[in-house]
Amino acid sequence: MAENQKLNVLVIGSSGAGKSTLIKAISGVEVLTGIGEGVTKKIDVYESTIWPIRCIDTKGFEYNIFEQWKTIKQIKKYTKEQVNKSKKENVADEEIGIDVIWYCIEGTSGRTFEHNIKLMNKATNQWKKIPVFAVITKSYSDVDTRNNIEAIKQAFEKVKDINLVNIIPVVAEEYVINEEVKVEPKGIEDLCVKTLDCFEEAKDINKENRDRMILNQKRFTANEVIAGATASAGAIGAVPIPFPDATFLIPLETGLTKIIFKIYGVDYSLELVNSIVGSTALTIVAKTILKAIPGAGAVANGVVAGAIVLALGEAVVVVSELIYNGKIDVSQVNEIVDIVSNNIKENPIVSATINYFEKNANKMNNKKSKEVLEEIKRTRNKK
């Protein structure tokens, strides 16, 4: 596959199935969903920065024939303009451009699987030979997922002329049950790798490149989860009590540590998680930062809560990658806790927060912790 060549993936499925969420999860950059859509515009195109994949997000597949027709027309217009065109000159006009189709089927929509699949097939049957993946979105429950795979397999058997390659359950975005219990994003790497595997050209992507893509995806997913936890910590930490004694962050910190381990497939023990969350590094860092702002109020406390959760999350990513790459074993609890502690203490968010407090101590009362945290994160990233 040439350096700048990308597969065009058509993402279809009913409204609310999770198309935009899935695309956002593999994009590798913050993409705004639902922003800047013209009334007549039926497609949005997103290039992943992680995978050689370009996703075409469709609207108007809500099973109104006219809307579908308009969407298809725009897809054709778009794909014809693609550079891909030239390499496929011997292919019929209608088939230009789309390389793969992802059917997004919501796991909870059980009884309508067959109906759903038939309608999607009707809309796209001009692209007959193209590989199709059934993506079971919102696959939060393992039990339901096993049943869904079976039911969807059967539904596809009743619909002819679909080149179904695989059925892949995904969770595109963490699913929050409570602060401590969350379902981790999953299935994304599997979907992307198997999509690439449909193409001889993509098979040439060497092992090293593939591993890098998978790791980049994990890192991106973990960072999204950390951003969410940081914002939650900022909100629940915004209380006017002396901060370092706060135990109310423990459920959130525990949930964050576990979900990052799960993203990296780390087979963690509870002892490991508890040792990480219970390490004194978090308290030490919180105390150090708070020294920069005498008589800290609710806003400052929220900022500190967010900063330490961010530092914790990023430190857990560091050790998860070491474990994932076989540099350290998950049973080496003390070593892992040391690495996490050092990474927390050395995270540049600490000095960025101290600097901010020293400069802005008296300007914070009418701000929100979240705004302040975002500002501090920006100054940190500049360095």
Ligand X SMILES: Nc1nc2c(ncn2[C@@H]2O[C@H](COP(=O)(O)OP(=O)(O)O)[C@@H](O)[C@H]2O)c(=O)[nH]1
Interaction site with Mg ion (CB under 5 A):
20
Residue 137 makes contact with ligand X by CB under 6 A: yes
Minimum CB separation of residue 228 from Mg ion in Å reads: 20
Strands 182-183 and 175-176: antiparallel
> How far apart are alpha carbons 339 and 316 in whole angstroms?
9
Minimum CB separation of residue 106 from ligand X in Å reads: 8
Q: Shortest CA distance to 190 belongs to which of 164, 169, 212, 220? A: 169
Among 10, 17, 26, 198, binds ligand X (CB under 6 A): 17
Note every long-range contact of 90-94, with CB atoms under 8 Å and residues 24 or more positions apart, other chains counting: 94/126, 94/127
Contact 58, 69 (CB under 8 A): no
> How far apart are alpha carbons 355 and 213 in whole angstroms?
36
> How far apart are alpha carbons 103 and 12 in whole angstroms?
5
Residue 138 makes contact with ligand X by CB under 6 A: yes
Q: What is the DSSP string of 267-284?
A: ---HHHHHHHHT-THHHH
Among 173, 179, 184, 189, binds ligand X (CB under 6 A): 173
Positions 291 through 350 that interact with ligand X (CB under 6 A)? none
Minimum CB separation of residue 234 from ligand X in Å reads: 20
Q: Which stretch binds ligand X (CB under 6 A): 17-25, 66-74, 231-239, 332-340?
A: 17-25
Among ligand X, Mg ion, none, residue 97 binds (CB under 5-8 Å by kind) = none
Chain mean position to CA 343: 23
Total residues in contact with ligand X, by rule CB under 6 A: 15
Number of other residues whose CB lies within 10 A of the CB of residue 360: 15
Q: Of 20 and 74, which has the nearer Cβ to ligand X?
A: 20
Minimum CB separation of residue 176 from ligand X in Å reads: 7
Closest residue to Mg ion in the complex (CB): 20
> How far apart are alpha carbons 201 and 2 in whole angstroms?
8
Q: Of 50 and 136, which has the nearer Cβ to ligand X?
A: 136
Minimum CB separation of residue 270 from Mg ion in Å reads: 38
Among 6, 19, 210, 262, binds ligand X (CB under 6 A): 19
Residue 110 makes contact with ligand X by CB under 6 A: no
- Give the binding site for ligand X (CB under 6 A): 13, 15-21, 33, 137-138, 171-173, 175
